[in-house]
Structure 1
């Protein structure tokens, strides 16, 4: 039902991360049906007007030259304070190494370390945050944002993720004009990693678990600033009209209808440098099972931002077993953040899940996508020597804070060695997976507010209540 009192809402897209959640789901149509006048404040190369959406595009948006150094210092200090508060060294795992490859990067690294040394406390952290605000209020982006907001007069500005420096100036401009602002914590692992760069009036999170995390890491925030909504990224899993028949899907991707397929979901090279070997081990296990009378294949879905050739040798060796079904993302530049999701890929991902038996990967949130279809996930949990990445170990992956949310009962199948691969695949496709699926569902309900298909509804209700108040 359309509300007669239209409210003008700006959806701030500082990068392509928010497209999947807020442009390619029903989020926009639900907001329109609730009587909102919605414009995307768009800093992506994606032309949203092609989808029939109103958009206002940024022109050559840039942050202040000092903001990147200040942001890096903020992240390091927040991680230091988390270690001090928790007595847990796991937060060191979230640090990226400083670069000294040239004069410019060396100066940035030295400057960041100097700032951390002199501001390594709560008071110092507040100084850094205030300095970021001070610098961003000097930018052309800030004054352009003021001009846009004064002209358009939105009632609310909603930023689609919390980590982009380019969002700071537009959010500041809105706050300086008295326009309420909010941001969405876009991923389940973000808060422990100290990725919250913008300061908004309100925060939308996936779950009560994430709300508690937000208040723990940012104690200056108040409970009434945080709304538990869930995330729109799982909403489309209930839209069965987006599914094609098994016959149509198999024909399009040249799959064999006589086979059952396991999905191997790839990671980026930083997260999983040994992924090609893990894929090879999975294919070798499938080959052995096929020799024992099974008829299996692998659908390989690579990480959407991984365009490398690192899998080529494995794909060639096991071309009779592995079929690549590549994500339908668009490469619109050379940087990783210029590789953007598409609505077509949402449908592709859903159909890949619907027409495969289970997923194998290294610690990704695909466990929740598969359990949405009542299918299990197997996590790879063993190391392989790698001379290029001698210090990488799978043990560090599962020590990350977000995995501590897993129930004390197995919510995934654990593949602890290549020798266990065959047995895990058999379990994943049989009745033994039922208990794993039940446990994974409990984990999913802890991580994301249920029912998951109402996330957009809850976000729009929260926005309406904030404006009303």
Structure 2
């Protein structure tokens, strides 16, 4: 029996691996498929396959000892690479303690230890201590029993970062189950801390990501690492999510005589200036510095959009798209992870990508979404270390985004007039950066969107 276990940790993983064709192909490729879910079991009610089961994972809460050893492991990784990568150093700085709580003093101790001990050997030692601490958590035994009863041949992690994945990997290794992790996002390797566990094998977006994986995790040079692309964009080539131009204008209540601009927001933790950029565009439209267009704002799925209430009142001509992501569980340690997209939201998103004429966002992966539909992209970054705004220009120095800037695939603008000029120029000459966009997409997404799920499953079958 070929049995595949799939670990889905959050709503984005649900979008990528359930709302794509992945599960439909998985049940054809494997005799049995089991989803181990960090989301409530009932969100999978539409998956009606006889050989697929969903098992809800009990919520894991770290004890103090596990947290301390995990923190040692993660911060040591950041310390080890801080001089080579701006994004790593920025993340390290963000981890520094500022309060006087017990946890803050322990964090300071972590920083003191890892300034000296941050080699791969030290990181391995810290992870060993973290593993030993798992024995003190009753959830460990539940995970072990779950896998012991099911005995999947391969346990596939659709993300590599959430801490509780370390318990599952630990249990799988004790049972002789092979583990494989998909590298979740294009910025996870060059700007984030240590991944949750030393998985047995990996699936990556591109040859570029494979090189990054080998650099940050030298041991992976001796492991199986397969380039498969990413299911993040696969819904854009699935017919069930397509819509007509007529639907687009009707759905968002737009004037079909005008071109359309979409501003896509990040969340407040990284994109605090969204409101400023929306206001600059709205005022330019009101003052006729930009030709008449439909102006649509799509907020982050991780938020409810309430931070834009004053803009809604001040500029009633702005059309708002609040992503249809349902909160499936409250009182969770990471409530944002429990938001799950509806299929209707993917229809809305694809409609925006396909039928809008221009995208504006602050250094988001959403730029690639629009590039896949050959649309121009503008990145406003007004904030720096001197002007009092949230410093979003720092993201231009993160290695994954340095490549975007260097490619010339997007327009980078740093003040009001540059933003307004870039909007007018992009509306007038939308294909000006098309060649650069195609080159960037080839670099970042190593395979065609068509067949992504099949490639992933073939790689898992080969394990």
Give the TM-score taking structure 1 as reference length.
Answer: 0.90
Please state how far the C-alpha of 1:64 moved relative to its aligned partner. Answer: 4.1
**Counterpart Cα distance in 2 of 1:44 and 1:301:** 24
- Residue of structure 1 in register with 2:304 after alignment: 307
Please state how far the C-alpha of 1:228 moved relative to its aligned partner. Answer: 0.8
- Residue of structure 1 in register with 2:107 after alignment: 109
- Residue of structure 1 in register with 2:345 after alignment: 345
249 and 89 in structure 1: CA distance in 2 versus 1, 3 angstrom threshold: closer
RMSD: 2.3
CA contact (8 A) 1:163 1:196 kept: yes
**Counterpart Cα distance in 2 of 1:422 and 1:60:** 47
**Counterpart Cα distance in 2 of 1:60 and 1:336:** 14
- Residue of structure 2 in register with 1:268 after alignment: 267
C-alpha distance after superposition, 1:256-304 (max 9, x if no partner): 2232210000111121211101111122223344x77x32021100111
CA contact (8 A) 1:250 1:256 kept: yes
Is 1:437 aligned with 2:437? no
- Which secondary structure state, in structure 1, belongs to the residue aligned with residue 360 of structure 2? strand
- Residue of structure 1 in register with 2:219 after alignment: 220
- Which secondary structure state, in structure 1, belongs to the residue aligned with residue 96 of structure 2? coil
- Residue of structure 2 in register with 1:133 after alignment: 131
Q: How many residues align?
A: 453
CA contact (8 A) 1:64 1:136 kept: no
Please state how far the C-alpha of 1:233 moved relative to its aligned partner. Answer: 0.8
Give matches, 1:182-261, under 5 Å. Answer: 182-192=180-190, 193-261=192-260
Long gaps (5+) in structure 2: none
Long gaps (5+) in structure 1: 1-5
- Residue of structure 2 in register with 1:180 after alignment: 178
C-alpha distance after superposition, 1:168-223 (max 9, x if no partner): 11111111111111011110000122241221100111100000001000112225
* Greater CA drift, 250-259 or 171-180: 250-259
Give matches, 1:142-153, under 5 Å. Answer: 142-153=140-151
- Residue of structure 2 in register with 1:428 after alignment: 426
Give the TM-score taking structure 2 as reference length.
Answer: 0.91
Is 1:24 aligned with 2:15? no
CA contact (8 A) 1:228 1:449 kept: yes
C-alpha distance after superposition, 1:2-32 (max 9, x if no partner): xxxx511110123334111111110111112
**Counterpart Cα distance in 1 of 2:313 and 2:384:** 21
**Counterpart Cα distance in 2 of 1:362 and 1:99:** 27
C-alpha distance after superposition, 1:73-105 (max 9, x if no partner): 222211111135x3x555221232434546343
- Which secondary structure state, in structure 2, belongs to the residue aligned with residue 191 of structure 1? helix
Please state how far the C-alpha of 1:446 moved relative to its aligned partner. Answer: 0.5
Please state how far the C-alpha of 1:393 moved relative to its aligned partner. Answer: 1.7
Give matches, 1:52-91, under 5 Å. Answer: 52=47, 54-84=53-83, 86=84, 88-91=85-88
C-alpha distance after superposition, 1:331-368 (max 9, x if no partner): 23263223333333222211121221111011011121
- Which secondary structure state, in structure 1, belongs to the residue aligned with residue 451 of structure 2? helix
198 and 224 in structure 1: CA distance in 2 versus 1, 3 angstrom threshold: closer
63 and 343 in structure 1: CA distance in 2 versus 1, 3 angstrom threshold: farther
Is 1:401 aligned with 2:399? yes
**Counterpart Cα distance in 1 of 2:453 and 2:6:** 13
122 and 195 in structure 1: CA distance in 2 versus 1, 3 angstrom threshold: closer
- Which secondary structure state, in structure 1, belongs to the residue aligned with residue 7 of structure 2? strand
**Counterpart Cα distance in 1 of 2:90 and 2:59:** 34
